[in-house]
């Protein structure tokens, strides 16, 4: 059996009707198992969630608690991200598959750079100001394969911005399945909708158009599998990580905390982690300024441990509706990083393929259940996974 796993970034339960009007996703629902009530992980941002999707673990175990390490004294645009496998503390599906001799490939998946378990790898890696995008990609990717793809198909990509980058990702998937050695395990991360919602708002025309494009890209990948004659042996797993909410007020929480008590804030968007030598003083400052600082809820040690938050985070905040925490004054539109009680924290799962039941709707699942379920289907082992195997999806 082969696995094709596609992540649709920034769509969630409120988007269900719109997504199920897309022919490719509607067909997958009828042909397999569907759930629009998949509880994501805290914090509700891309890199921790995508690591949970590949490990079956929560951030306090897999080690990716944010998109970026905490770098309070570095200019925001110069901050590094978690780009490399070395930052993950547990086994991933890539490793489990490679150790069993399976051929792996990955397109734009977060925290997948410099990964020896991925044979053909085009990771999500962003050049910082002053860095050369090509050089940086070659340092983190599969260089010979990337160069060959660029020489053969690079002219079909007008830019490395969205939506062009996701179109190129779908093209690469199609070409991988048409190659002499199609992948046994392929993961691809489609980011178009996330970008449009950040830039223009969650209910904007641009976001709606991005959702339409997602459906076309999913169809293109599935058609590529069919053309290669691999459809009957491929398990399709379509997932999402989080939704977004509109925010009209950006609050410089780090700046406010520094002035009030010397503590620091690391933004999550609609939430923030709080760091400092005197967290009780920071908590008092937060309590005193809840309204002007746009705080809905303060999370202490007990709350954070129950959420499986990163082990080094002992204090955090959640934003009031319409507010978000920013590192510099900027216009805000769509954001995430909210708490798990938001409708946009309920995400999707489609499973279709050999051994999977048909036309079944799951009432609920957790994101950490997905990796152990896929491992079970492929005959792999993820011994550290904290989620359960969804036995009810199998025939």
Total of domains in the chain: 2
Q: Is 100 found in the same domain as 59?
A: yes
Residue 35 included in any domain: yes
Q: Is 137 found in the same domain as 85?
A: yes
Q: Is 238 found in the same domain as 154?
A: yes
Q: Is 264 found in the same domain as 215?
A: no
Average pLDDT on 283-309 reads: 98
Average pLDDT on 171-183 reads: 98
Local structure of 239: helix, strand or coil: strand
CA 291 vs CA 257, 380, 384, 388: distances in Å = 14, 50, 41, 40
pLDDT-derived band at 101, boundaries 50, 70, 90 = very high
Closest Cα partner for 51 from 367, 350, 380?
Answer: 367
Q: Is 264 found in the same domain as 186?
A: no
Q: Is 302 found in the same domain as 183?
A: no
Residue 348: per-residue pLDDT? 98
Q: Is 82 found in the same domain as 15?
A: yes
Checking if the pLDDT of 395 tops 90, the result is yes
Of 332, 358, 373, the position where a domain reaches its end is 332
Q: What CATH number has the domain bearing residue 304?
A: 3.30.1360.110
Provide the domain limits for residue 290: 249-332
Of 332, 352, 369, the position where a domain reaches its end is 332
pLDDT-derived band at 112, boundaries 50, 70, 90 = very high
Of 312, 332, 352, the position where a domain reaches its end is 332
| pTM higher than 0.85 | yes
pLDDT-derived band at 366, boundaries 50, 70, 90 = very high
Q: Is 140 found in the same domain as 79?
A: yes
pLDDT-derived band at 331, boundaries 50, 70, 90 = confident
187 contacts: CB under 8 Å, gap ≥ 6 = 5, 6, 7, 54, 93, 94, 105, 106, 107, 109, 112
Residue 337 included in any domain: no
Residue 105 included in any domain: yes
Residue 219: per-residue pLDDT? 98
Residue 331 CB coordination number (10 Å): 8
pLDDT-derived band at 294, boundaries 50, 70, 90 = very high
Q: Is 300 found in the same domain as 196?
A: no
Average pLDDT on 241-260 reads: 96
Average pLDDT, the chain: 97
Residue 194: per-residue pLDDT? 98
Residue 267: per-residue pLDDT? 97
pLDDT-derived band at 329, boundaries 50, 70, 90 = confident
């Amino acid at each position: 059996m082969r696995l094709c796993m596609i992540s649709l970034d920034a769509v969630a339960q409120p988007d269900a009707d719109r997504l199920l009007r897309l022919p490719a996703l509607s067909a997958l629902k009828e042909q397999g198992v569907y759930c629009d009530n998949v509880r994501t992980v805290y914090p509700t941002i891309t890199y921790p969630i995508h690591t949970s999707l590949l490990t079956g673990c929560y951030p306090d175990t897999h080690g990716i608690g944010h998109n970026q390490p905490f770098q309070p004294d570095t200019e925001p645009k110069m901050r590094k991200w978690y780009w490399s496998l070395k930052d993950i503390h547990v086994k991933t599906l890539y490793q489990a598959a490679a150790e069993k001799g399976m051929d792996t490939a990955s397109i734009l998946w977060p925290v997948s750079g410099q990964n020896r378990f991925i044979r053909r790898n085009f990771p999500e890696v962003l050049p910082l100001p002053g860095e050369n995008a090509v050089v940086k990609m070659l340092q983190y990717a599969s260089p010979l394969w990337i160069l060959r793809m660029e020489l053969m198909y690079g002219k079909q990509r007008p830019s490395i911005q969205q939506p062009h980058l996701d179109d190129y990702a779908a093209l690469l998937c199609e070409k991988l399945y048409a190659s002499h050695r199609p992948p046994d395990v392929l993961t691809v991360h489609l980011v178009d909708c996330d970008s449009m919602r950040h830039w223009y708002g969650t209910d904007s025309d641009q976001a709606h158009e991005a959702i339409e494009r997602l459906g076309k890209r999913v169809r293109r990948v599935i058609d590529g599998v069919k053309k290669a004659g691999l459809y009957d042996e491929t398990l399709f797993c379509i997932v999402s990580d989080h939704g977004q909410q509109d925010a009209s007020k950006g609050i410089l929480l780090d700046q406010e905390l520094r002035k009030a008590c010397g503590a620091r804030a690391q933004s999550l968007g609609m939430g923030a982690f709080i760091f400092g030598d005197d967290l009780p003083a920071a908590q008092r400052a937060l309590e005193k300024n809840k309204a002007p600082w746009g705080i809905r809820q303060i999370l202490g040690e007990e709350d954070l441990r129950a959420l499986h938050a990163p082990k080094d985070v002992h204090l955090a905040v959640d934003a009031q509706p319409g507010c978000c925490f920013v590192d510099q004054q900027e216009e805000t539109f769509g954001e995430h990083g909210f708490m798990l009680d938001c409708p946009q924290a309920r995400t999707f799962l489609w499973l279709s393929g050999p051994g999977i039941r048909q036309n079944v709707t799951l009432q609920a699942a957790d994101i950490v259940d997905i990796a152990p379920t896929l491992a079970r289907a492929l005959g792999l082992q993820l011994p550290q996974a904290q989620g359960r195997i969804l036995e009810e999806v199998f025939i």
